Structure 1
Amino acid sequence: MLVKDFITKEIPVLKSFDTGDYALTLMDDYKLKHLPVVSDDSFYYKGIISEKELLSYSDLSVNIGNIYLAESPSVRLETHLLEVLALITRNKLSLLPVISDQDIYEGVVTRERLVDVCADFCQADAPGSTIILEVSPTDYSVTDIARIIESNNAHILSLQTHPEDTNGQLLITLKIDAEDASAVIRSFERFNYTVVWHFMENGMVDDIFQQRMNELIHYMNI
């Protein structure tokens, strides 16, 4: 998924003659902490200005052109979603300007829009189940995981990995297209995978858990 597929062009830009007051008003209107700055006579990208930077000035009637732009992060139209996510997160940006090969401003990717795109990218809203496995990094094999899932007539919709800081294990988050993942979970456990969490709409694992909870509550009430 590339920037050109989810670029936003509705966000206003600033030019050198705009004042700090005007910039803060726009930020408030659009619920942003940053705005792009372009040249007066064209849309040549110059950088971004932040709310924090503007609020450091005692006189907000100052023109943007008189403020040194410390940041000028940007991406191209062909940049992948994951690179955009890394830049916005690393620089704590509310938006990231998109520019052409000639450094002409094309639009932005906002943090809000990025959340929607990432949800779509991860198939978060697709019907199915979510399973989290814990494995040793040396035992991690996408091929084995896919084989177990597909042997139960299910398929991987998305897969993300995250190393645990505490024990060095690898957490694998799987979204699969089976709404009842009980057979997949049993298969993972049979092959000695640790299933640390799962969510599914309905299924035998949930039903058994609910039955045991009911039995426990009944026992406690005797």
Structure 2
Amino acid sequence: MLVKDFITKEIPVLKSFDTGEYALTLMDDYKLKHLPVVSDNSFYYKGIISEKELLSHTDLSTNIGNLYLAEVPSVRLETHLFEVLTLITRNKLSILPVISDMDEYEGVVTREHLVDVCTDFFQADAPGSTIVLEVVPSDYSVTDIARIVESNNAHILSMQTHPEEKNGQLLITLKLDSEDASAVIRSFERFNYTVLWHFMENGLVDDIFQQRMNELIHYMNI
């Protein structure tokens, strides 16, 4: 998924003659911590102004052209979602400016809108079930996982991995198209996969698995 698929153009832009007071009013209206600034006579992108910078000045009637514009990264329309997530998170931004090859302002990606984008990208709200596995990183095999899932007449809609810092294990989150993942869970158990957590609309797990889930929840609550 590329920026051009989820760019937002409704966020207002500021120009150098706008005051700090006006900028803060817009930030409050749109629930943002940053706003883009463009040239007075064009849409050439100049930078962003932050709420923190504005609040550090006592005279908010000052034009923002006389204030510091943060030099934050910008992205192009062909930038991938993963890069957007990295830049917004790393720089603690409420917006990420989108510019053209000629450095003209195109719009922004907002942190809030990214939640909806990620929900769609990761198929989070699609009908189905979710399973979280824990594996040793050296044992991680996409082929084996897919084979187990598909052998039970299910398919993987999305899969994410996350390293567990405490024990060095790898957590694998699977979103499946099957609302009853009981058979898939039992197959993972047979192949010595540790199933940490699951959610499914229908189906039951056996007593042994339920006992292990209860033990895990108890352990997490200690």
TM over 0.5: yes
| Structure 1 position 206, deviation (Å) | 7.3
CA offsets, 1:19-47, max 9 Å, x none?
00000000000111100000001000000
Matched-pair contact (CA < 8 Å) for 1:46–1:72: no
Q: How far did 1:200 drift?
A: 0.3
* CA RMSD of superposed structures (Å): 1.5
Farther off after superposition, 62-71 or 27-36: 62-71
Letter in 1 for 2:13: V
Distance 1:134 1:17 in 2: 56
- How far residue 108 of structure 1 moved from its aligned partner, in angstroms, is 0.5
Whole-Å Cα distance in 2 between the matches of residues 70 and 76 of structure 1? 18
Kindly state the Cα deviation for residue 69 of structure 1 after the two structures are TM-superposed: 1.2
Identity %: 88
TM-score by length of 2: 0.92
Bigger Cα displacement from structure 2, 60-69 vs 122-131:
60-69
**Matching residue of 2:33:** 33
Task: Please give the per-residue CA displacement for 1:74-128, whole angstroms capped at 9, x wherever unaligned.
Answer: 1000000010011111111111110000000000011111110000000000000
Q: Show the counterpart of 2:216.
A: none
CA distance in structure 2 between the partners assigned to 1:207 and 1:114 by the alignment: 39
Question: Where in structure 2 are there 5+ consecutive unaligned residues?
Answer: 211-222
Q: Highest CA radius of gyration, 1 or 2? A: 1
User: CA–CA distance in 1 between the matches of 2:22 and 2:70?
Assistant: 19
TM-score by length of 1: 0.92
In 2, Cα distance between equivalents of 1:70 and 1:120: 31
Match in the other structure for 1:161: 161
Once the two structures are superposed, the pairs formed by residues 169-180 of structure 1 within 5 Å of their partners are 169-180=169-180
User: Match of 1:104?
Assistant: 104
Contact 1:130 1:175 (C-alpha < 8 Å) held by counterparts:
yes
What is residue 78 of structure 1 aligned with on the other side?
78
Where does structure 1 lack aligned partners over 5 or more consecutive residues? 211-222
SS at 1:115's partner residue? helix
Aligned AA for 2:122? C
Aligned to 2:94: 94
* SS of 1:75 mapped into structure 2: coil
Contact 2:154 2:176 in 1 (8 A): yes
Q: Secondary structure at the match of 2:205?
A: helix
Aligned partners of 1:49 and 1:71 also within 8 Å:
no
Q: Which amino acid letter does the alignment assign opposite residue 46 of structure 2?
A: K
Q: Structure 1 stretch 149-158 or stretch 64-73: which is displaced more?
A: 64-73
Runs of 4+ in structure 1 deviating by more than 4 angstroms, as ranges, are 206-210
Counterpart of 2:79 in 1: which secondary structure? coil
Task: Determine if the alignment matches structure 1 residue 204 to structure 2 residue 204.
Answer: yes
Return the offset for 1:73: 1.9
- Name the amino acid aligned to 1:43: F
